Amino acid sequence: MVKKDDHAIVLDYLPHGYPLENRRTPIVQAVGEEHLSLLELVPNRGVGFELNEKVYIGPEKRDKIYYILGRLPQDKMTETAKIQLKEFISKKVAEQEKKFVDFFNSAHALNTRLHQIELIPGFGKKHMMEIIKERDNKAFESFEDLRKRVSGLPDPAKAVEKRVWEEIMENPRQRLFVL
């Protein structure tokens, strides 16, 4: 069963639709608040949107969104939407730091050659081994704790943000954070 968001965050609003298309339907480019899926939304007539505005897209009566057109293809994503998405990801990682730190405390091997931690950009076998050794002594409490206890580690928050971006934009085979 596909999990659906009840709310989305507006990344960009195109009141006259896509410039190079004949159909001039207004479009809202958005990201699902929980499951981080990129969406194209068709707004109700006469409503405006602010960037980063939270809009209801659930099954009940919607006040600003007429219907969900579908997933937003990356090639249709505006530059504004990409910038807003990066900011949204940074905010989400900061707000849910405990969730991401818990990932480092519980990550496991995917197979005999690859560990989940190695899927994080900038984290190789050496970092993975050190993280596992340190977490066996005591669980990590924050990104800062992770940086202090594992030497030479890239900024864990920035690395997680990069991974979330990759999962949203590049759709890799192995997913850690985006459903």
Q: What is the CATH number of the domain that holds 141?
A: 1.10.150.280
pTM: 0.89
Q: Which residues span the domain enclosing 48?
A: 7-76
Q: Is 160 exposed, middle or buried (CB count within 10 Å of its CB: 0-12, 13-18, 19+)?
A: buried
For residue 175, is it within any domain? no
Q: What is the CATH number of the domain that holds 19?
A: 2.40.50.140
**Same-domain status, 116 and 69:** no
For residue 27, is it within any domain? yes
**Same-domain status, 32 and 71:** yes
For residue 29, is it within any domain? yes
Which of residues 76, 111, 136 is at a domain's end? 76
Residue ranges of E strands in the chain: 7-14, 27-32, 38-43, 54-56, 65-71
**Same-domain status, 67 and 26:** yes
Which of residues 76, 109, 130 is at a domain's end? 76
**Same-domain status, 55 and 106:** no
Number of domains in the chain: 2
Which of residues 44, 76, 108 is at a domain's end? 76
Asked if residues 30 and 56 have their Cβ atoms less than 8 Å apart, the reply is no
**Same-domain status, 72 and 132:** no
Per-residue pLDDT of the chain (179 residues; tens, 9 = 90+): 456 889 999 999 999 998 888 778 999 999 999 889 999 999 999 999 999 999 999 999 999 999 999 999 989 999 999 999 999 999 999 999 999 999 999 999 999 999 999 999 999 999 999 999 999 999 999 999 999 999 899 999 999 999 999 999 987 788 888 86
For residue 70, is it within any domain? yes
For residue 111, is it within any domain? yes
At residue 21, φ and ψ (nearest 5 deg) are -105, 150
For residue 87, is it within any domain? no
